[in-house]
Structure 1
Amino acid sequence: MSEKSTPCFLFLLLGLAISSQVQAGPCRPWQQEDSLAKDLVIGEITINANNIFDPADKKENRWYHRLANKLHIQTRREIIGYQLLFSRGDKYDERIIQETERLLRANRYIKDVTVRPGQVCGNVVDIVVKTNDNWTLTPGLSFGRAGGFNKYGLDIQEHNLMGYGKDLNFSFNHTIDRDERLLSYTDPLFMGTRKRLDLSAKDNSDGEGYVFGYTLPFYQLDSRKSWGVTATINKQETPLYRNGSIFRKIGEDEKTLNIFYGWSDGNVKKTATRYSVGWTVEEKKFSAVAPYNIIPATRKLSYPWVEMEYFEEKYTKKTNFSTMGIVEDISLGHHFKFKAGALTESMGSDNDYLYLSASYNKGYRPFLNQLGLLSLGVNSFVGNGPLEGVRVKGSGQWHYLQSNNSHFYLSGEFEAGSNLQAEEQITLGGDTGLRGYPVRYQSGNRAFLVTVEQRHFFDWYPFRTVRMGTAVFADAGAAWGQGNSRKVLYDVGVGLRFVITRSSDAKVLHLDFAFPIGAPATIDNFQVILKTKKSF
């Protein structure tokens, strides 16, 4: 055999080896028991990237549905393709199919997604990926009222720029603390890769801010590496509250830089253990805000750190859970993080500390119609200096899914800190809980809040776009410390909920009427809260 023919012969052998593994045969529809087969390989991959409304459905073929479809720029097929965790010729793995579906559904511009086997030909299985878009251009006005304070805004957001999955946002918001003008851009698939680019700039009535981030996240369970650099600049005036009124303001000028690298062995029996190392630099300067004359000392932290993360892949799917009319993936597995950093004056910090941080999240499903969620977090600076101390935060939720239309909800949360700085406090009231009281009515260095709700979801689906619900609720909680005594406050109320299920924004509009119980005569007999949230 000549030298020139040798490469051709090797390619022929390689092709024969591959064809021995991929054997096409008589084709038939996929059956559930096929998922137990060990020798299946992926054949043809079909991506059906659909518009917002289905014209084949009479209920979604009105003139306004057709107009929305015509004006909307659909997600491009290659953008869906970039995010698939499998390729033609890969071994078929049901776990990877399900993970791909979850990752696609996490995109704001996608409402519905299914990733399913199609036909089976011998040991070759074809995969069909079907997506339905959300409406992603969301210009509009917003108005909210909580605890006696009005807030409003104007925004233009595009969460799927030209169908490429990029996010562009311009907004103006008048809040209780400041007027905000924000311009931001996010590309989660930078240059057709899994790298992520984040850019933002804001010009506020009390300062300005900038964000830069270029990262490669652990985007799937089997990811082997992660790295990134993030930087922020933020200038603002931070108000502190007492009995619902500002008693102090502090000017802040904060700069942060974070660089990290992470690695992992990937998926090991549906779990992943990840390790990261990095360096963080934080500098915060303070200034007086008239007529207040409080100026805390400048604070600078510079330290290397190590982090370990453990994640268990275990999910359940629910609709009408934390929102309405949208499929949600709820994590039930263990998720634990631990981080440690060493701060010394020789490395640029103000004082010597050992920084420790840990978090734990877990979901529970003791019965088919009950779900519990637990979240715990703690961080501490160990050493001699103004940051020395501990902060803890935790929350728990219990969901009793009585039917497709009824849902009983109980939640509790607490927060405490022994080392809150001069510009920090924990508040309750209005938009921070206790809906029957003025905004940030109580403050201190510790707080708890308990909420009970009976929720109802309506079947009525006007324009095939809007879902509605109601809630009857009761809140109880208190914030105290830093010279404030503990006094538990109570309120009850009723509320309406609205969500546009075909919008990439998909925020829930809350209209609540809350009535304080046993409140002082200086408190209004009821509060009207109008605001948008990510959840019910």
Structure 2
Amino acid sequence: MTSIVLIMPRAGSCLLAACFLAAPSWGQDAGRGETFTLGRIEIHTGDIYPEGRAESALRRLINATHWTTREAVVRREIWHRPGEVVDLRFAQELERNLRATGLFADVVVELVPSTDPNAPEGTRDLRVRTRDQLSLGLGAGASFVGDATSGNASVSESNFLGIGDRIRLSVSENDFGETVGQASYRDRYVAGTWTTADFVAGRTDQGDFFSVGFSRPFRFLEDRFSWDVRAGKTAYDQDYFFRNSTVAEVPVDLDNVQASASWRAGTRMNFWTRGLTTRYQNAQYSAARGVAAPQLRVPGDTESVFAGGTLSWANLSEFREVQYLDTIRFIQDVQVGTTAFLEAGAYFRDEASGGSAPAGDSAEGQSTQTQISTRLSHLIAPGETRFASASVAGSIRTDGGDTQAWRTDVELRAFDLTWHPHTLAFAVSYTQAEEDQGLPVQLTLGERSGLRGYPNRQLVGDQVLLLHLEDRIDLDASIRSFDFGAVIFGDAAWVGGQTFGPQSFEGPYTSAGVGLRIGSTPLLGRGVLRVDLSFPFDDVNGESFDPLFSATLGQVFTL
């Protein structure tokens, strides 16, 4: 038996829960079915609208402004070579991986009897057919979430030259009136390898920022090695809110460098991953501004280094292809099983003088601390139409037995697709966090963070409980490339803690509403446009609110 420890700290202490997991056997993969010898590999990539579906001038124009994905992009995702032994699960995993790239609206992967008359008995050819999704983005847009409006103008291409690279130029203004200009580029396959490179540079009202990263992620379940190296510099204002207004802000200049490497052992569905990781951060703080600045603890300039190891475990029972989970009928891949993660190491911290911490609360000087982070997730699928997931995560940082920072996150989600066209969806989440040396933690609640009907950041604190209940309805209605769904929903929240929030746990704050869901795999991929009209039922500090309208991309919650 192997013991994995979960850290779930609360109120300055930690609760240790030992979850005993049976150690897996590294013999044959128990779920492996009939095997074949891989023969020829056939790849057919298609445009956004294939022949026969590009009858309109608009669809022909969309095809004309799009680079069709090159065959080499698909071929790089295939890890087996002709002559090697494969099974049906290889084809299924490859199909999931290709969908996850975000390049394709449709993917079909098959192992078919070989067309080579000289192939040995039991040989199967691999046939891959893909149809692209729209990759060109050009124009301007706006997001309306509650009473906050943000705008942007951008030009982007997420399949540059058909080689899978992404380039984007954008200018945006958030609901604080802050402007951000940014340029980014992702090289999906550096020099034709499995290494990915990311470059980002830009400018905000606070200053310039950049980041660069190189990574070689795990490309398939039985992949054995992964690494990641990245560095960046940014300047921003850490804002603190009260009743949807900024009452304090702390200018921060942040430099960071991090590197990690991981090794995996086991079978396709049951494996361990061990790794090494290190992170360096240099944070420089300016004096707090705003009416509540005197109440805010600001540390002195701080350098920190974390060095430690990671251990994770996965026991997967199956993968499901599910439709209508998020209202629209596109395919979503659901991983059923259990995963666990542990990171532990030493955290070295050096804080200079000059902060504004109250007397006796300063953390100036050097210290070497212990930092531990854990996460446990479990997803079950009882029957063909029901899914439920649970996730518990925690982190703690201690110095000589004294807790300096901690955080706990708990999430439960359930979906029932039994009564099609209705999908009943439920979610509950709880978060609590505390930081005694760095900047104080403040959690916010409102329309943008999941409590529909209330202004953004109307509720603040350091502990939040949030519930959602939705009836997601497939309308079985399509116009051109768009599918439509509807939703009836209710939300409830409790909030407590300090940093300009209530001292005690207060609530519930409730709301309900109706909404429209719009999807299009050729144009939006697997994203869902969410349009909601929300009705808040409760006053906050004697203040009532009108119904709120919001339009944004992405569901409030999903699996």
Verify same fold: TM over 0.5.
yes
Alignment of 1:273-352 (within 5 A): 273-288=272-287, 290-291=289-290, 292=293, 295-313=298-316, 314-322=318-326, 324-344=328-348, 350-352=366-368
Given that 1:173 and 1:179 are in contact with CA atoms closer than 8 Å, whether structure 2 keeps it comes out as: yes
Distance 1:183-1:491 versus aligned 2 partners, 3 A rule: same
Amino acid across the alignment from 2:462? N
Distance 1:145-1:65 versus aligned 2 partners, 3 A rule: closer
Deviation sequence 1:414-461 (CA, Å, 0-9, x none): 100132643531111120121111111111110010011111122222
Given that 1:453 and 1:474 are in contact with CA atoms closer than 8 Å, whether structure 2 keeps it comes out as: yes
Please say which of residues 135-144 and 64-73 is displaced more in the overlay.
64-73
TM-score, structure 2 as length reference: 0.84
- Quote the sequence identity (%): 21
Aligned to 1:418, the other structure's residue is in SS state strand
Distance 1:81-1:447 versus aligned 2 partners, 3 A rule: same
Amino acid across the alignment from 1:407? T
Alignment of 1:47-446 (within 5 A): 47-56=43-52, 60-120=54-114, 122-177=121-176, 178-265=178-265, 267-268=266-267, 270-288=269-287, 290-291=289-290, 292=293, 295-313=298-316, 314-322=318-326, 324-344=328-348, 350-384=366-400, 388-419=404-435, 421-446=438-463
Aligned to 1:85, the other structure's residue is in SS state coil
How far off its partner does 1:64 sit? 2.7
Once residues 165 and 151 of structure 1 are traced to their aligned partners in structure 2, the CA distance between those partners, rounded to angstroms, is 29
Once residues 125 and 283 of structure 2 are traced to their aligned partners in structure 1, the CA distance between those partners, rounded to angstroms, is 56
Given that 1:438 and 1:523 are in contact with CA atoms closer than 8 Å, whether structure 2 keeps it comes out as: no
Please say which of residues 497-506 and 43-52 is displaced more in the overlay.
497-506
- Matched with 1:5 is none
Distance 1:246-1:387 versus aligned 2 partners, 3 A rule: farther
Distance 1:345-1:533 versus aligned 2 partners, 3 A rule: closer
Aligned to 1:334, the other structure's residue is in SS state strand
How far off its partner does 1:347 sit? 13
Please say which of residues 363-372 and 348-357 is displaced more in the overlay.
348-357
Aligned to 2:58, the other structure's residue is in SS state helix
Given that 1:48 and 1:130 are in contact with CA atoms closer than 8 Å, whether structure 2 keeps it comes out as: yes
Amino acid across the alignment from 1:356? I
Given that 1:136 and 1:504 are in contact with CA atoms closer than 8 Å, whether structure 2 keeps it comes out as: no
Amino acid across the alignment from 1:216? R
Once residues 319 and 157 of structure 1 are traced to their aligned partners in structure 2, the CA distance between those partners, rounded to angstroms, is 29
How far off its partner does 1:345 sit? 6.0
- Greater relative contact order structure (CA < 8 Å, 6+ sep): 2
Amino acid across the alignment from 2:210? Y
Once residues 245 and 496 of structure 2 are traced to their aligned partners in structure 1, the CA distance between those partners, rounded to angstroms, is 16
Larger helix fraction of residues:
1
TM-score, structure 1 as length reference: 0.87
Aligned to 2:476, the other structure's residue is in SS state coil
Once residues 164 and 212 of structure 1 are traced to their aligned partners in structure 2, the CA distance between those partners, rounded to angstroms, is 20
Please say which of residues 309-318 and 469-478 is displaced more in the overlay.
309-318
Once residues 345 and 493 of structure 1 are traced to their aligned partners in structure 2, the CA distance between those partners, rounded to angstroms, is 47
Please say which of residues 316-325 and 254-263 is displaced more in the overlay.
316-325
Aligned to 1:226, the other structure's residue is in SS state strand
Distance 1:328-1:269 versus aligned 2 partners, 3 A rule: closer
What is the root-mean-square deviation in Å for CA atoms of aligned residues? 2.4
Once residues 216 and 66 of structure 2 are traced to their aligned partners in structure 1, the CA distance between those partners, rounded to angstroms, is 30
Aligned to 2:381, the other structure's residue is in SS state strand
Once residues 383 and 180 of structure 1 are traced to their aligned partners in structure 2, the CA distance between those partners, rounded to angstroms, is 38
Once residues 466 and 368 of structure 1 are traced to their aligned partners in structure 2, the CA distance between those partners, rounded to angstroms, is 27
Aligned to 1:503, the other structure's residue is in SS state helix
Once residues 160 and 385 of structure 1 are traced to their aligned partners in structure 2, the CA distance between those partners, rounded to angstroms, is 51
Aligned to 2:275, the other structure's residue is in SS state strand
- Matched with 2:549 is 528
Unaligned runs of 5+ in 2: 1-31, 353-364
Larger strand fraction of residues:
2
Amino acid across the alignment from 1:490? T
Aligned to 2:137, the other structure's residue is in SS state coil
How far off its partner does 1:289 sit? 5.0
- Matched with 2:3 is none
1:468 counterpart = 2:484: yes
How far off its partner does 1:88 sit? 1.0
Once residues 190 and 111 of structure 1 are traced to their aligned partners in structure 2, the CA distance between those partners, rounded to angstroms, is 24
- Matched with 1:508 is 528
Q: How many residues align?
A: 497
Aligned to 1:104, the other structure's residue is in SS state helix
Once residues 526 and 269 of structure 2 are traced to their aligned partners in structure 1, the CA distance between those partners, rounded to angstroms, is 31
Alignment of 1:25-64 (within 5 A): 37-38=34-35, 40-56=36-52, 60-64=54-58
Distance 1:533-1:179 versus aligned 2 partners, 3 A rule: farther
How far off its partner does 1:306 sit? 0.3
Given that 1:397 and 1:410 are in contact with CA atoms closer than 8 Å, whether structure 2 keeps it comes out as: yes
Amino acid across the alignment from 2:299? P
How far off its partner does 1:208 sit? 3.1
Given that 1:98 and 1:115 are in contact with CA atoms closer than 8 Å, whether structure 2 keeps it comes out as: yes
Once residues 138 and 391 of structure 2 are traced to their aligned partners in structure 1, the CA distance between those partners, rounded to angstroms, is 34
Please say which of residues 280-289 and 162-171 is displaced more in the overlay.
280-289
Given that 2:304 and 2:350 are in contact with CA atoms closer than 8 Å, whether structure 1 keeps it comes out as: no
How far off its partner does 1:149 sit? 1.7
